Amino acid sequence: MTVIITAAVFIIALFAFKLIMRRLKVPKVSSSTKDQSPPAKKDPGADFKEILDTLIKLNILIRTDRDFSMDLILKIESIVDDLKALIPDMITRYPGETLTYELKKIGATHLFKIVKEYLDLSPDSRQIQRSAFEKTIETLHEVCARSRQIVDNNEIAEFKTMAHFLEGKFS
């Protein structure tokens, strides 16, 4: 009987040890740390592919909504085109910069979220919120244009200023 109890305790100890070892191998990232700082080094191509996938979903979303106006579609597609041209350049030339991180967040999450929230509104609510939505879209368009100028002119001193603006505006 004591052999059975000893064997059961031994087996339970092995499972507990295996569970502890498995948890030690998986790195934990707290959500507050994740939101505050850029993620650990990933393959830049994988980052850009994720952003492109999100932008494609966004394009499909706005093109399949019958009530979404063509002028808004064109403005959003202009931002998508700017991000598609700007982000790879930023990833290649300035991979560790905060501005690169913020622009990637706009392409990966912010633009989609802003548009999706607007599309989820009822037609009446859309009419009420349209001017605020257009202003947000116009701000994103201006951000992309200004970011392009910063990169083209290599204005490294402006990187932090623009990144802080984006963080405050869209985070």
| Other residues' Cβ atoms within 10 Å of the Cβ of residue 118 | 21
Q: What is the mean pLDDT of residues 91-113?
A: 87
Least confident of 3-7, 103-107, 130-134: 3-7
For tokens 């191998």, name the residue.
Answer: 25
Whether the model pTM is above 0.85: no
The span from the CA of 106 to the CA of 120, in Å, is 19
Record the tokens describing residue 171, joined without a space: 């985070």
Each residue's pLDDT tens digit, 54-92? 999 999 999 999 888 899 999 999 999 999 988 898 888
Quick one: which H or E segment has residue 123? helix 123-152
Query: Rg (Cα) of the chain, in Å, rounded?
Result: 23
Half-sphere exposure of 82 (CA within 13 A, CB side): 22
Q: What is the DSSP letter of 109?
A: I
Each residue's pLDDT tens digit, 123-155? 999 999 999 999 999 999 998 888 888 888 877
